[in-house]
Structure 1
Amino acid sequence: MIPGREAWPEAAALRAHMQRIGAFYARHAIDPAGGYFQYFLEDGQAVERGTRHLVGSARMTVNWARAAVVFGSDADRHRAAHGLAFLSQAHRIGEAGAYAWRLCDGQVADDSQHAYGHAFVLLAHAHAVLAGVPGAQTGLARVFDEQTLCYWDPQQGLLTDRWDAGFRSCFAYRGQNSNMHACEALLAAWQASGERACLERAATIAERVTGDLAAQGGGAIWEHYDAHWRIDWDHHRDRPADRYQPWGFQPGHQAEWARLLLCLHRERPDPRWPQRAARLFDWAVAHGWDAEEGGIVYSVAPDGRVHNADKVAWVQAEALAAAVLLAEHTGQAAHATWATCLWQHITTHFVHPLHGTWRRWLDAQHRWPTNAPAADNPTDYHALAACHEWLGVLGRTAAAGQR
């Protein structure tokens, strides 16, 4: 028994929550012509029906593949296969490793190449393999080779970030975010394929980001760097709500790295990983928790002041997953209590009372505009991933108690 977990939900409740989210997307997101609708009003109506973002297409594929594993559902497996086919046939373009960042009405609207997007393509293939989607194993090997050819910088032990359409010109910007999600994808690829190269690359990225880059940030991980991986303190200073490259320290990304380090530790034990995970999680809640309104803020300035006090669903989800995994690893009641606190906060403010999906972006006081169009594709990827991690902890704890 993990001390302090008495108020945690039971596994059945987490599964029911995941099924409720999945039911919303099963009703509203499947496009029989290919891929998934990705933008919804508060009432569930799909809008911008012809727009497909690479990240949304990949994340929804991951969601269905995850559901197929958790629930053993053939219907979810078929939905995952539907998304994987769209990634391979509609998003994949021209040069090896190239994927359309955005499609509009079946046409390429943005052909810029992003390591961030490619990481989710890799993640989608890995989860599809784990779900038993036919042909996914061949695709996984191909996508890993694409990452090696197009983005991997062996001298730096990190990925480049963005290229033009033909991979002829690399942008100078470097970012930890794309590398963080590549680490996540590589861990899944290792679990799906058993290819040691995937695990070793994940460990290399984790060491560089949570060791070397965190040292540049005084112990916390800054988002933006130049071509030589030196901190760029000014990139997007004027864009506090940018979805992919916001300015400031991101408490959610400190927590997300804490989660990934603990997942990495399960696969490739190293005492540094859980130590760093605990430190990064502690930083996230110490600097990010809003003592007055509750929830973890979006960004913090280098001087420690809150830069953007909005409450974003993925931030809460990653902090929840990290707290649960830390409670399992450390046995400390404080981490279990944080998990309870975060879950109560999420269910109070983020979970939609009708659909069970999570409201993606709230202001500092947790306000959401009534029936406003989604600013970008929600997918509930982080919410489902956090619940899945929690189910894993509950399962391992129960199994340990029976031995």
Structure 2
Amino acid sequence: MNWLTNAAHARWLENETDALLDFASGAMVEEGFAYLSSEGEQIPAEGSQLWLTCRMIHCFALGSLLGRPGSATMVDHGLRALSGHFRDDVNGGWYAQVGPDGPMDDTKAAYAHAFVILAGASAASAGRPGGKELLEEALTVSLQRFWREDEGMVVESYDRTFTDLEDYRGVNANMHTVEAYLAAADVTGDDTWLERATRISRRVVDDFARNQSWRIPEHFDANWQPLLDYNMDSPSDPFRPAGATIGHWFEWSRLVLHVRAAWAARGVSAEDWMLEGAQALFDLGVTEGWDVDGADGFVYTVDWDGKPLVRERMHWVVTEALAAAAALYRVTGDANLAAWYQLWWEYAAVHLIDTENGSWVHELAPDNGPSATVWAGKPDTYHAVQATLIPRLPLTPVLAPALAQGLLDTH
């Protein structure tokens, strides 16, 4: 039985999409969307964070395109928060975190701004008022503030006024910029965004990853020299963990396949490194990430010899492995990928999907017991929602534009 071609499994995925959107609906607050606890309760001290609010807009835009009543209201609410509470009308861009009394963190980061682009693209695909305008504004900010044409990459973060630029450069922000630029290319019809997504992907995968035995360096100095010892004194950082991050190998594997498919749809032959890199990253993620320490699950990070560094299990790593397996199967038809896909959904159902409190447990200990070393609570449904939809959609266009074109379950 191949679940990737099974209509009954697609119905199960649809039910899980609905359950995740239902859980996420409890996050709505005046300033956007709140950080939720493990029980789905709002945590006021966390305020509304830009990256989370934008991910919620994206998820509810997908819900609206799936015909889920109430989702459009959530999208519109999030768009109002971005145009009001989050927007810096003086300096441009959007604040990183806001509360009832205004900004709680007024920095401007490429990571979060990539999700503003994604939110705008998905809202525009869903036909929500203000979505297209948000997308255009977010792309302008990205191009003027973060993109570096000579480097083919984005820089990391600024202060409130876009004056002081952090010396650090990060692959994580660039990864989500690829995701955002792919969506922008599909929605706007401007292939310049696809070209930029390709340039980032080529440098990260065909250069940085290849030269490090496919273990992607995450942290760099201002000249894009890798900092392989970065954060070794705090290896469990949620955004800048030490070593190499297993889940990002799967995420890059899938994103490269989206890039490859986008060019193919435009009649452009794929570059050799694309499928090679996607396969290599996936294979290494399985070899060095899955069940490497005596228990099922993916370790969070490994060192530069491929040995486990942080052994806690993050829910989002499983979702990205599932999505990458589905994407790579779409390209290769390899039955082994379908087997991994089934095994990882089995793991998710047993250990991660919380049928009592809703959503997915965000972190497990190395023995798959409770843990909150890196992620407390359940603030994020984005990874899991996408894992329920990517197996049901083509590789190009990307999620929201594909749904808008009626391509669900048509591949």
Same fold (TM over 0.5): yes
What's the offset of the Cα at 1:76? 0.7
Residue equivalent to 1:39: 36
Show the counterpart of 1:235: 230
Aligned residue in 1 for 2:324 = 322
* Shift of residue 216, structure 1, vs aligned partner: 3.5
- Relative to structure 1, the CA distance from residue 357 to residue 397 in structure 2 (aligned partners, 3 Å threshold; closer, same or farther) is closer
Matches within 5 A, 1:48-63: 48=44, 51-63=47-59
**Structure 1 residue 81 displacement after superposition:** 1.4
Residue pair 2:96, 2:112 contacting (<8 A) in 1 also:
yes
Which deviates further from its counterpart, 47-56 or 323-332?
Answer: 47-56
Name the CA distance, whole Å, in 1 between partners of 2:299 and 2:374: 22
Between the two proteins, what is the percent identity of the paired residues?
31
- State the match for 1:335 in structure 2: 337
Residue aligning to 1:249: 244
Picking from 59, 63, 76, the partner of 1:67 is 63
C-alpha displacement of 1:135: 2.0
Where in structure 2 are the equivalents of 1:12-31 lying within 5 Å? 12-26=11-25, 28-31=26-29
Q: Which amino acid aligns with 2:232?
A: R
Size of the alignment, in residue pairs?
394
Contact 1:39 1:48 in 2 (8 A): no
* Whole-angstrom CA distance in 1 between matches of 2:158 and 2:344: 38
Q: Does residue 77 in structure 1 map to residue 72 in structure 2? A: yes
What is the alpha-carbon distance in structure 1 between the residues aligned to residue 394 and residue 298 of structure 2? 23
Q: 1:34 to 1:268 in 2, by over 3 A?
A: same
Listed as ranges, the matches of 1:2-401 within 5 Å are: 5=4, 10-26=9-25, 28-31=26-29, 33-40=30-37, 42-48=38-44, 51-69=47-65, 71-269=66-264, 270-271=270-271, 272-291=273-292, 292-368=294-370, 375=376, 378-392=379-393, 399=410
**CA distance, structure 2, for counterparts of residue 389 and residue 149 of structure 1:** 31
Q: 2:327 & 2:244 partners in 1: Cα distance?
A: 22
* Maintained 8 Å contact 1:81/1:133: yes
Following the alignment from structure 2 to structure 1, what is the Cα–Cα distance between the partners of residues 363 and 142? 31
Q: Deviations over 1:294-351 (max 9, x none)?
A: 1111000012210011000111100110011111110101111111111111111000
Residue type at the aligned position of 1:363: A
TM-score for both structures, normalised by structure 1: 0.92
2:297 match: secondary structure: coil
CA distance in 2, matches of 1:182, 1:268: 18
CA deviation profile, 1:203-262 (whole Å, cap 9, x unmatched): 111111111221342322110011111111121111121111101111100000001011
Q: Secondary structure at the match of 1:307?
A: strand
CA contact (8 A) 1:225 1:231 kept: yes
CA positional deviation for 1:105: 2.5
Secondary structure of the structure 1 residue equivalent to 2:244: coil
**Cα distance in 2, alignment partners of residues 91 and 396 from structure 1:** 33
The DSSP-based 3-state class of the residue aligned with 1:222 is: coil
Counterpart contact for 1:321–1:386, Cα < 8 Å: yes
Q: Is the 8 A contact 1:39 1:373 kept in 2?
A: no
Cα distance in 2, alignment partners of residues 200 and 374 from structure 1: 34
Q: 1:288 to 1:8 in 2, by over 3 A?
A: farther
TM-score by length of 2: 0.90
Does the C-alpha gap of structure 1 residues 243 and 135 become closer, same or farther in structure 2, counting only changes over 3 Å? same
User: Contact 2:363–2:371 (CA<8 Å) still a contact in 1?
Assistant: no
- Summarize the Cα distance change of 1:313–1:236 in structure 2 as closer, same or farther, 3 Å threshold: same
Does the CA contact (< 8 Å) of 1:102 and 1:111 recur in 2?
yes
> Any unmatched runs of 5+ in structure 1?
none
Structure 1 distance, partners of 2:46, 2:232, is 32
RMSD: 2.4
Cα offset, 1:374, TM superposition: 6.7
CA offset at residue 369 of structure 1? 5.5
Question: How far has the Cα of 1:274 moved from its partner?
Answer: 2.0
Letter in 2 for 1:55: W
- Displacement of 1:9 after TM fit? 5.7
- What's the offset of the Cα at 1:365? 1.2
State which drifts further: 48-57 or 175-184: 48-57
d(CA) in 1 for partners of 2:231, 2:45? 30
Residues 314 and 383, structure 1, Cα contact 8 Å, conserved in 2: yes
Amino acid at match of 1:375: A
